[in-house]
Every structure is written in C-alpha cells, then in structure tokens.
Amino acid sequence: MSMCGVHVADSSNGHGSMQHLALSTFKKKCRSACSIEGPLGMENKVIPDAAITASSTYENMIPTHGPQRSRLNTIGQCAAWGPSTSDTQPWIQVDLGSVSYITALITQGRGNRNVDQWVTAYNVKYGLEVEPTKYVTDVYGVPTEFVGNTDANSTVTTRFETALVARFLRILPKKNCGYYMIRFEVIGCMF
C-alpha cells in the first residue's frame, strides 16, 4: 500500500501483525520519513554476515564469492557476490533487522583489478517477511528495471521515487557485463 509518498510492504503471513506495527509507527512518522538518511549498515558491517542471503553462490565457493562479499567497497579476491552459473533467477537479499524506510540503493561491480564483471540492470523486491513479495514497480504495476553499473568500481546511486517501508530488501540481477557480480549499500533510516 502507499500512503504519504511511502510504499508499505504487505504482510504475507495473513495475520497482518507486522503490517499493523509498521502502519501504526508509520502514521506517527509519515511527515518526516527519513529527514536524515544514511547507510543502513552493509559497508560498515552493522548488518551481520548472517543477515545477507542469496539464491546461490558461484560454484559453491562461499568464502570467496558468498553473500558476505556483497558489501559496498569490499576489496580483495572476488570482491563481490556472484551466483552459481546454473542459477537462472539469481537474487541477493539483506535483512535490515527491523522495519526501516529505504530511500536508495548504491551498487558497485566486482572490485578485483582486471576483472570486468558487474550488474547492468536489476529489479528490487521488498517486504516485511523473509520472502519479500512486493516489487518496486512503475505506474502500470510492471517491475521497474533499474540501471546498474557501467564499470567494476564506480558507484551508482538509485533513488526510489517513494520510500519503501520494509525489513527485507532483495536485488534481482537481470543483465550483466562479464557476469552477475554486485556490491551494495542500502540507504534510508530506521523507524
């Protein structure tokens, strides 16, 4: 649902308890959603490794290609997350730990020197439950395909038209250069 220029994810458990909590808190803060926004904890590791999950990992090489490598500005061998070559619908997801306003996403490609791999287009899903069900869409309800990166190390900031209210954010890579490799940070503020 959308109120006051903020998208609130629907609860998928049928009980609506998370949605009720989000809406009651939301009503108190509707006018000041993210008056001060900032990184929500990927790069500085406030978000723990266990809160970053993915559909798969490149050839099951968890330490070098796992979801924990998706933090913005990660350096070293395989400085990014990459899915398995057999994964036809890859995704990477972060659990923010609590319901938050999400206003933007910053992305990068693989941070290794001389390795040109990055995501050039992606969709975003969000929600209050561990399996997010709501896509960021255009006015016709079609999932928005966001423009990704054009090289491995530059950052691209994508601002959402309206703030998302969610605990879980999922990035679904759609196009790539070289391979689906991504590092990212979530921007917004906590409730």
CATH label of the domain that carries residue 115: 2.60.120.260
Number of domains in the chain: 1
CA distances from 182 to 48, 110, 115, 145, 157 (A): 18, 6, 13, 16, 13
How high is the pLDDT of residue 127?
97
CB atoms within 10 A of CB 6: 20
Tokens (6 digits) for 135: 């896509």
Instruction: Answer yes or no: is pLDDT of 153 > 60.
Output: yes
Residue 17 confidence class, pLDDT cut points 50, 70, 90: very low
Phi, psi for residue 63 in degrees, rounded to 5: -60, -35
Over residues 42-86, the pLDDT tens digits come to 999 999 999 999 999 998 877 888 999 999 999 988 899 999 999
DSSP annotation string for 3-58: ETTEEEPPPSSSS-HHHHHHHHHHHHHGGGTTSS-EE-SSTTS-S-GGGEEES--G
Residue 28 confidence class, pLDDT cut points 50, 70, 90: very low
Better-predicted residue by pLDDT, 65 or 165: 165
Tokens (6 digits) for 179: 């391979």
Q: What is the dihedral of CA 129, 11, 104, 54, to 10 degrees?
A: 30
Among the residue ranges 51-55, 108-112, 174-178, the one predicted with the least confidence is 108-112
Residue 129 confidence class, pLDDT cut points 50, 70, 90: very high
How high is the pLDDT of residue 126?
98
- What is the mean predicted confidence (pLDDT) over 33-48? 91
Instruction: Answer yes or no: is pLDDT of 179 > 50.
Output: yes
Residue 110 belongs to domain spanning: 2-30+37-190
- What is the mean predicted confidence (pLDDT) over 149-155? 95
